[in-house]
């Protein structure tokens, strides 16, 4: 396959750019487009081939360097390490580990937010949350679904009444969104959990903190479980 044809096969679609570039480069390493020890094309060439910006390519390469698949030699370029060809599953395991870290952060924030929201939210504040849940459950494309899902969960954190907790959530929200969309676009093992979301809303309406915590954990544990599977 020629370089041009390979580029066409790995074009970037709508959605978060960096995870798609990372996956594209990871796939091409697995396909042995570049042999161990070979120098990758420069950022400009890869950006042109994939139809993205150089900064996005740079960030994707940084992630693959962190995973031990590439090596940056200052003044020389970026080179493929032997591990990329000899252990193709290692990169996938590391990718899942990074995504699992995101879920661990979500768990720390969203469980406490759900508990607080169930004790502090007033009935008149729940209308927007119901709307967000409806948008989530009726979204017709991955981007719309993830954006509505993120809006719902941020709404719960907002109802916690804790400004610092909301600030922390807003700081990590882009990472949560990108990780969620990456899994939906690239993986086939992401369970949907509409019942857990409905249970969470019901628990907040009833002022039941234990049920709110249980519903939050039901959602996060179910969606993170495939990342814990070593296969």
| pLDDT tens-digit profile, the chain (231 residues) | 334 344 444 556 666 788 889 888 988 888 889 988 999 999 999 999 988 889 989 988 988 888 788 999 988 999 998 764 445 455 666 677 778 888 999 999 999 999 999 999 999 999 999 999 999 999 988 899 999 999 999 999 999 999 999 999 999 998 899 888 888 877 766 788 999 999 999 999 999 999 999 999 999 999 888 887 644
User: Tokens 């959530």 — which residue?
Assistant: 169
User: For 3-86, which CATH class?
Assistant: mainly alpha
Q: What is the residue whose two structure tokens read 């487009």?
A: 33
CATH class of 89-228: mainly alpha
Domain spans in the chain, listed from the N-terminal domain onward: 3-86, 89-228
What is the reported pLDDT for 224? 87
pLDDT score at 20: 85
0.85 surpassed by pTM: no
What pLDDT shows up at residue 97?
76
Please provide the DSSP assignment of 167-214 as one string. Answer: HHHHHHHHHHHHHHHHHHHH-S-----HHHHHHHHHHHHHT-HHHHHH
Please give the Cα distance from 214 to 42 (Å, whole number).
49
């Amino acid at each position: 396959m020629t370089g041009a044809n390979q580029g066409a096969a790995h074009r970037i679609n709508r959605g978060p750019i960096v995870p798609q570039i990372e996956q594209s480069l990871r796939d091409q390493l697995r396909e042995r487009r570049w042999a161990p020890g070979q120098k990758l094309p420069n950022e400009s060439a890869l950006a042109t081939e994939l139809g993205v910006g150089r900064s996005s390519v740079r960030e994707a390469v940084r992630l693959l360097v962190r995973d031990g698949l590439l090596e940056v030699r200052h003044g020389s370029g970026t080179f493929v390490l032997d591990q990329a060809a000899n252990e193709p599953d290692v990169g996938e395991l590391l990718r899942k580990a990074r995504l699992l870290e995101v879920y661990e952060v979500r768990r720390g924030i969203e469980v406490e937010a759900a508990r607080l929201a169930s004790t502090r939210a007033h009935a008149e504040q729940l209308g927007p949350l119901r709307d967000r849940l409806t948008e989530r459950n009726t979204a017709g494309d991955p981007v719309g679904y993830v954006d509505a899902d993120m809006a719902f969960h941020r709404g719960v954190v907002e109802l916690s009444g804790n400004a610092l907790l909301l600030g922390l959530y807003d700081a990590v929200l882009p990472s949560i969104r990108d990780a969620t969309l990456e899994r939906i676009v690239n993986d086939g093992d992401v369970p949907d959990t509409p019942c857990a979301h409905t249970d969470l809303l019901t628990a907040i309406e009833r002022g039941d903190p234990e049920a709110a915590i249980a519903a939050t954990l039901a959602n996060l544990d179910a969606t993170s479980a495939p990342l814990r599977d070593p296969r």
